[in-house]
Amino acid sequence: MSDLASGRAGQEAQAAFCVLIVDDDPDMAGLLGRMLMQQGMQAQVAANGPAALEMIAASPPDLVLLDVQMPGPDGFEICRRLKSQEATALLPVVLVTALEDHDSRVRGIEAGADDFLSKPVRREELIARVKTLRRLHETRKELEGRRLAAEVQRKEEIRKAFARYISPRLAERVLRESRGSEEVFRNLSTRTAVVALFADLRGFTRLSETVPVSSIVPMLNEFFTELTAAAHDNEGTVFSMAGDSLLVGFNVPVPQADAASRAVSTGRAMIQRFAPVAARWQAEHGLSTGIGVGVEAGEVVVGNVGAPSFMSYTIIGDPVNVAARLMQRAEPNEILIGPRASLSLPAMLGGAMPLDRRSVKLKGKSEPVEVVTLRVAPV
């Protein structure tokens, strides 16, 4: 047993938040462990991916800090394995990496990472991100308890619980089914055409380095509140929140002939709704923020990841990957619309908004991709 594991032995296991540190560098692992233990958390260490999987199977932690570059299976692969298994699909995973390029971050999103930390790790950023996920982890447990209680109460209570995570129309569809909600979600697994939208908060890393730790979670909550409201106003389904990014789908689970237009309208609404918040943040903290948006259409697999007691409804496929990469290429307050999504836009869109076209090189694509660029002026 490592000295970190021994150090936590005297603590009450049920009271402390347990973090598993996966890193082949013992000095780095020790440093991260000491930072966490100073905050009253437990810290365990695994020197590589296979060892981490064994420890998680034996006694799941509350969160995993996962180094990307390790001998054997790298952090991306270990994260992918954890997120693909029912028992660990909801386990929060933070990728710790010296790779700062956008493609590496997209790989992390594709692997299912909940957040990212860049090396060298700053103590304030580590604690802020772990505390954010800890709060989300505890909230998820609390909400799961409420959902289970709601199943034996009035259907209206169930609808309200579901509507906090999925589009209201999907919630109503679940309630109309005569079978249990778990069975309804299983039968929604299919392959279908969707429009995927990824939105990302720009400048938040710099902002998080300057604001008090106690302000970071409320600021993220404020950000996601505005974006989720914009998505629901256009009847989009919010599939995931990872770090400061949001994935929304259209034409799913109910058909929407104008799905591409809804996605673009959602992107515009996100930028405009967030503008007053961004202005206030700039006045209070002196740093500019904005939203980058990527949109693409195509066929994806729609299904569920999770356990029978808690399902995560999600979409997987090339359009999702392209939307994520376009999001990374977008400037603040800019929407990049992929070639398949742009084909579905109404002809009047070009006359109503300042659009232009350009070619961009995306990882995984042999040829440059022509995209429509929409620059949105915050209101």
The better pLDDT of the pair 190, 223 is held by: 223
Confidence label for 245 from pLDDT (cuts 50, 70 and 90): very high
Whether 247 and 240 have beta carbons less than 8 Å apart is answered as yes
Weakest mean pLDDT among 184-193, 240-249, 297-306:
184-193
Q: What percent of the chain has pLDDT over 90?
A: 39
**Does the pLDDT at position 129 exceed 70?**
yes
Give me the mean pLDDT over the 323-348 stretch.
Answer: 87
Q: Which of 8-17, 38-47, 188-197 has the lowest mean pLDDT?
A: 8-17
Q: Is this structure's pTM higher than 0.75? A: no
**pLDDT, mean of residues 2-21:** 57
Give domain limits for the chain: 3-138, 188-375
**Cα-flanking dihedrals φ and ψ of residue 90, to 5°?**
-95, 5
Would you state the pLDDT for residue 30?
A: 92
Q: What pLDDT does 55 receive?
A: 94
What pLDDT is attached to residue 53? 94
| pLDDT > 80? residue 14 | no
In which element (H, E) is residue 306 found? Answer: strand 290-307
pLDDT at 208: 81
Q: How many CB atoms lie within 10 A of CB 87?
A: 12
Give the pLDDT confidence score for residue 1 in this predicted structure. 43
Backbone angles phi, psi at 368, to 5 degrees: -60, 150
Query: Quick count: other Cβ atoms within 10 Å of Cβ 40?
Result: 10
Q: Classify 18 as helix, strand or coil.
A: strand
Going by pLDDT thresholds of 50, 70 and 90, the confidence category of residue 352 is low
Q: How far apart are CA 258 and CA 1, in angstroms?
A: 58
**Mean model confidence pLDDT for the chain:** 82
Q: Read off the pLDDT of residues 355-371 as tens digits, 9 standing for 90 and up.
A: 688 888 888 788 888 99
* Token duo for residue 281: 């943040």
- More reliable by pLDDT, 162 or 125: 125
Predicted local distance difference test score (pLDDT) of residue 12: 42
DSSP 333: T
- Which residues make Cβ contacts (< 8 Å) with residue 184, sequence separation at least 6? 173, 174, 177
Return the CATH class of domain 3-138. alpha beta
The DSSP letter of residue 15 is T
Specify the pLDDT at position 159.
59
Q: Determine phi and psi for 361, rounding to 5 degrees.
A: -95, 125
Averaged pLDDT, 315-321: 92
Q: Please tell me the predicted confidence (pLDDT) of residue 259.
A: 93
The mean per-residue pLDDT over the stretch 232-261 comes to 89
Specify the pLDDT at position 2: 46
Task: Decide which of 254 and 251 is more confident.
Answer: 251
Determine phi and psi for 336, rounding to 5 degrees: -105, 120
Question: Per CATH, the architecture of 188-375 is what?
Answer: 2-Layer Sandwich (3.30)
Three-state DSSP class for 47? coil
CA dihedral 58, 110, 232, 263 (to 10 degrees): -170
Q: What is the pLDDT of residue 123?
A: 87
